[in-house]
Amino acid sequence: MTLLESPSATRAKRPAPTGTRLPILSTTPGRFRALSIVLIVAALTFGLVSWAAAYSRRAATRAAAHQSELLLVQAEQLYVSLADADATAATTFVTGGVEPASRRARYLSELKAATERLTTLSAEVGDSPSAERAVRTLAEDIPVYSGLIDAARANDLQGLPLGVGYLRQASMVMRTQLLAAARKLYEVEATRLGDDYRSGTWPVSLWVPVAAGILTLALFLGGQWYLLRRTNRIFNVPLVVGSVAILLVLVWSALAIGLQQSDLADAARTGSDGVQVLSAARILALRDQGDESLALVSRGSGSDYLTDFNVVAARLGGANGDGGLIGADRIIADRSNTGGGVDSLARAFSFYLATHAAVVRLQDAGLFVCADRYAVQTVARAPGCPPSSDSETEVAAAAALDARLDDGIDASQARFRAASARAIAALDGLALGIPLLAIAAAVAGLIGFQRRIDEYR
């Protein structure tokens, strides 16, 4: 019967010691081998997951800092240039008589700047059809606009009221076509930046590596506990080293990603939020300036422009600089404790409104020449005009407001740059550190068990 008892038959009759059918798990070295493979796979998977998380966050942060925000600023500047050109053109007509060379130069340079920014942006619009449409509208209608302004100028130089008609027409093209298209581009870029912020702070890219790290650490600790029970050795040095490596990756990547998220949030909350709000405020301030000029040159039939002025001013700063966008900017400034700039901004706005009210009073009284004078030329009293109640012309007050807004935009931009650079720096080293540590942990998982397996030979 011994002949019948072949080794395979004997083994077949014996029940599997662990109750599983996998042959590798039937012996202690086999089980060690399996555990070792699990640890290696876990360590490498964890490394890959946290590396991918760190990589995607770094890519999104870099895109926000080096691309989207810059493009957004370009789109905003395009918008500002157009609004500035329009306000400047309208104001040129208020002065009457000889056209001030500086104002004409400013109009031309703003229009040129707008065209240049349009060129930059049109190369970057990507596959957004609405952005493409906006670029086309801008490219087509900027020449139409400047043609209308030139017609306005030619008629005005001859003293014909038709000049004002062309100016109104130009302004309508600006507001209904050009500014609307610029707003569309701005929207596309704002959405792009928002997307970068979202993927740069995507919670999954924090939670998945942390969960994977905790699981991997648990597996390493479990492996040691198993070895302890089987071999009665308290420490398996390679596995201890592996556990420490896993722990390092876990803590490092969680801390780095947490820091990056906090810095990127700072970049948005104290930086680009302020840039967006103040740029919008600047555009509205320019629109107000255009409204006032158009009202003045309309010689009494400009009440629509004055109404628009009030609507726009309310959105810009509320009644006296505590509401509207300036109010929103105060909330943003409080996040970085930089409220001082907002105070001077609110003061400049209130002063601007005061000069505007004085000019409107003169218009209501029919004193248009005085209104023109106090609005754009000088507040020095002219014969036949009541003395001006303000220390500066409305145009000077508008320029001061514009300068405050520009300062605020620059400061916000600087905060954005600093915070986004910190966010990128927080992830420095992870791209190399994570793979090295993960491989080290995997090698430890291999060596730690290999020694025990070798003892069975």
CB nearer to another protein: give 34 or 254. Answer: 254
Cβ–Cβ contacts within 10 Å for residue 241, how many? Answer: 16
- Using the rule CB under 8 A, give the single segment among 34-42, 197-205, 430-438, 445-453 that binds another protein: 197-205
Residue 277 interacting with another protein (CB under 8 A): yes
CB closer to another protein, 197 vs 349: 197
3-class secondary structure for 330-355? HHHHHHCCCHHHHHHHHHHHHHHHHH
**62 is an interface residue for another protein by CB under 8 A:** no
Residue type at 332 in one-letter notation: I
Q: How far is the CB of 434 from another protein (least distance, A)?
A: 15
Q: 15: exposed, middle or buried (C-beta count within 10 Å: 0-12, 13-18, 19+)?
A: exposed
Helix axes of 394-426 and 69-95: crossing angle, nearest 10 degrees: 170
Pick one of 143, 339, 366, 429: the residue that binds another protein (CB under 8 A): 366
Rounded to whole angstroms, the Cα distance separating 457 from 186 reads 71
Residue from 236, 191, 202 nearest 35 by CA: 236
Question: Tokens for 428?
Answer: 């420095």
Residue 316 touches another protein, criterion: CB under 8 A? yes
Nearer to another protein, 11 or 198 (CB): 198
Could you say whether residue 298 binds another protein (CB under 8 A)?
A: yes
Do you know the residue count of the chain?
A: 457
The rounded distance, in Å, linking the Cα atoms of 137 and 159 is 32
Of the residues 70, 247, 425, 453, which one makes contact with another protein according to CB under 8 A = 247
In the complex, minimum distance from the CB of residue 8 to another protein, in angstroms, rounded to a whole number: 41
DSSP one-letter code for 23? G
- Confirm if 293 and 312 have CB atoms less than 8 A apart: no
> Does 402 interact with another protein (rule: CB under 8 A)?
no
Stretch that binds another protein, among 100-108, 320-328, 341-349, 432-440 (CB under 8 A): 320-328
CB of 15 to another protein, least distance (A): 34
24: left (phi over 0), alpha (psi -120 to 50) or beta: alpha
Q: Is 340 in the site for another protein (CB under 8 A)?
A: no
Span near another protein by CB under 8 A; candidates 25-33, 48-56, 262-270, 448-456: 262-270
**Binding residues among 144-173 for another protein as defined by CB under 8 A:** 151, 155-156, 159-162, 164-166, 168-169, 172
Q: Residue 109, interface with another protein (CB under 8 A)?
A: no
Count interface residues toward another protein (CB under 8 A). Answer: 92
Q: Which two tokens stand for residue 59?
A: 């890519």
378 binds another protein (CB under 8 A): no
Q: Which residue among 32, 51, 305, 449 contacts another protein (CB under 8 A)?
A: 305
Is there binding between residue 183 and another protein (CB under 8 A)? Answer: yes
Q: Is 97 in the site for another protein (CB under 8 A)?
A: yes
The Cα 397–Cα 388 span in angstroms is 14
Among the listed ranges 7-15, 130-138, 270-278, 399-407, the one in contact with another protein (CB under 8 A) is 270-278
User: Does 257 interact with another protein (rule: CB under 8 A)?
Assistant: yes
CA gap 146, 298 in Å, rounded: 20
Tokens matching residue 109 = 């340079």
User: How far is the C-alpha of 254 from the C-alpha of 456, rounded, in Å?
Assistant: 40
* Residue 330 touches another protein, criterion: CB under 8 A: no
Residue whose CB is less far from another protein, 284 or 342? 284
Is residue 57 close enough to count as binding another protein by CB under 8 A?
no
Determine, following the binding rule CB under 8 A, whether residue 301 of this chain makes contact with another protein: yes
396: contact with another protein by CB under 8 A = no
Q: Work out the widest C-alpha separation in the chain, in whole angstroms.
A: 137
Residue 117 in contact with another protein, rule: CB under 8 A: no
CA dihedral 290, 295, 296, 299 (to 10 degrees): 150
Binding mask 198-237 for another protein (x = CB under 8 A): x--x-x--x---x------x--xx--x-------------
Task: Give the residue among 320, 371, 449, 331 at the shortest CA–CA distance from 43.
Answer: 449
Q: Is 93 in the site for another protein (CB under 8 A)?
A: yes
